[in-house]
């Protein structure tokens, strides 16, 4: 975990972040201004996450991507200028990203994430992965957990998107309405004895949760009775995500519109095989699912990227818990 230096907010920064400071306070903004984030994968979703983090005012953002700009990337990646095909995606995004907020240190790394050692990740407070294979996601999640670094991941596939967070052993405070009991005799009937919420008073409740690893989330045992109960509440997108990660592993890319027929057939084959291995019915993903998971759609990137960046910002704003 990075040892944060005490951030000093200049008058210029106070003016730039005035609305945010009014919302969450000066001390929270200082914590945000002392934070460094690693963002991996500069496609459409990565551009949205980068935009939101830079505008929020982190201290530094490193955009890492070893891939070159393709024609497909230009559909939703607004940080890449026209005419940048075959340039490195992170480098092509740098100028526009930096122009969003000159007060943030925006850096580029063109090395493949799989070549990074553990020490590389320890210079960041939070790591966010997009466009990565299942093995890379699981590996980096494990590294981050081991070193107390907060881990986030997300992707967009057509109309579908996901986000994942592993905050380790995480403490937080939640505001709740106080519970009061109606005095007996004032009302008749059994309802008079039940606890009721008093919306006029709130109390702060300290909570603690232990996040599961990505590997645990992906390798659930669906044969147990508890899992069968959980299955009823599990959205089909969980299994769609598994299928798409397997496609990415096998093909080294995501489904492409130019290969719609071939890729659709392969997605159906992967669905049948993977869901059989998981012990669940392929019918949970109807045959037409493949029609809705091609390419990155800009509106979906905006929504998923907004949620993902929001969760990262909320984490960075929170006071560091000790002991």
Q: Which fold has domain 11-168+299-317?
A: Rossmann fold (3.40.50)
pLDDT for the residue 262: 96
Average pLDDT over the chain reads 88
Read off the pLDDT of residues 215-226 as tens digits, 9 standing for 90 and up: 999 988 887 777
pLDDT for the residue 323: 40
Give the chain's length.
323
Domain ranges of the chain: 11-168+299-317, 170-208, 216-293
Query: pTM for the full model?
Result: 0.85
Report how far residue 230's alpha carbon sits from residue 175's, in angstroms, rounded to the nearest whole number: 28
**pLDDT tens-digit profile, the chain (323 residues):** 555 555 677 778 778 888 888 888 888 888 999 999 999 999 999 999 999 999 999 999 999 999 999 988 888 899 999 999 999 999 999 999 999 999 999 999 999 999 999 999 999 999 999 999 999 999 999 999 999 999 999 999 999 999 999 998 877 677 777 666 555 554 555 555 455 555 567 777 787 888 999 999 998 888 777 777 888 888 889 999 999 999 999 999 999 999 999 999 999 999 999 999 988 889 989 989 999 999 999 999 999 999 999 999 999 998 765 44
């Amino acid at each position: 975990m990075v040892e944060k230096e005490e951030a000093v907010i200049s008058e210029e920064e106070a003016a730039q972040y005035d609305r945010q400071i009014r919302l969450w306070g000066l001390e929270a903004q200082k914590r945000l201004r002392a934070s460094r984030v690693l963002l991996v994968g500069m496609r459409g979703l990565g551009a949205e996450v980068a935009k939101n983090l830079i505008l929020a005012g982190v201290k530094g953002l490193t955009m890492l991507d070893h891939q070159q700009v393709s024609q497909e990337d230009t559909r939703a990646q607004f940080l890449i200028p026209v005419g940048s095909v075959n340039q490195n995606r992170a480098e092509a995004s740098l100028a526009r990203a930096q122009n969003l907020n000159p007060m943030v240190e925006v850096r580029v790394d063109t090395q493949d994430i799989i070549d990074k050692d553990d020490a590389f990740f320890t210079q960041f407070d939070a790591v966010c992965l997009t466009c990565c294979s299942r093995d890379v996601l699981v590996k980096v999640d494990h590294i981050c957990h081991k070193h107390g670094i907060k881990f986030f991941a997300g992707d967009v596939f057509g109309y579908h998107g996901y986000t994942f967070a592993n905050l380790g052993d995480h403490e937080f405070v939640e505001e709740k309405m106080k519970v009061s009991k109606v005095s007996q005799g004032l009302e008749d009937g059994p309802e008079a004895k039940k606890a009721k919420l008093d919306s006029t008073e709130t109390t702060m409740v300290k909570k603690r949760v232990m996040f599961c690893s990505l590997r645990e989330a992906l390798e659930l045992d669906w044969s147990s009775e508890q899992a069968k109960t959980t299955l009823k509440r599990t959205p089909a997108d969980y299994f769609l995500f598994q299928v798409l990660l397997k496609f990415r592993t096998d093909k080294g890319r995501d489904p492409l519109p130019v290969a719609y027929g071939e890729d659709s057939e392969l997605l159906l084959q992967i669905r049948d095989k993977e869901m059989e291995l998981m012990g669940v019915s392929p019918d949970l993903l109807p045959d037409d699912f493949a029609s809705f998971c091609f390419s990155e759609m800009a509106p979906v990137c905006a929504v998923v990227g907004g949620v993902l960046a929001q969760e990262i910002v909320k984490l960075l704003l929170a006071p560091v818990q000790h002991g």
